[in-house]
Amino acid sequence: MENNKLIKRFRWLAIAEGISYLLLGITVPLKRIYHIPEPNFVVGSIHGVLFIAYCIILLVLMIDLKWSFKKGFILFLASLIPFGTFWAERKYLRN
Contacts for 38 with CB less than 8 Å, ≥ 6 apart: none
Give 1-40 pLDDT, tens digit per residue. 688 899 999 999 999 999 999 999 999 999 999 999 999 9
Calculated CA dihedral for residues 79, 84, 90, 91, nearest 10 degrees = -90
- 0.85 exceeded by the pTM? yes
Q: Are the C-beta atoms of residues 78 and 87 closer than 8 Å to each other? A: yes
Residue 95 has pLDDT above 80, yes or no: no
Neighbours of 10 (CB within 10 A): 19
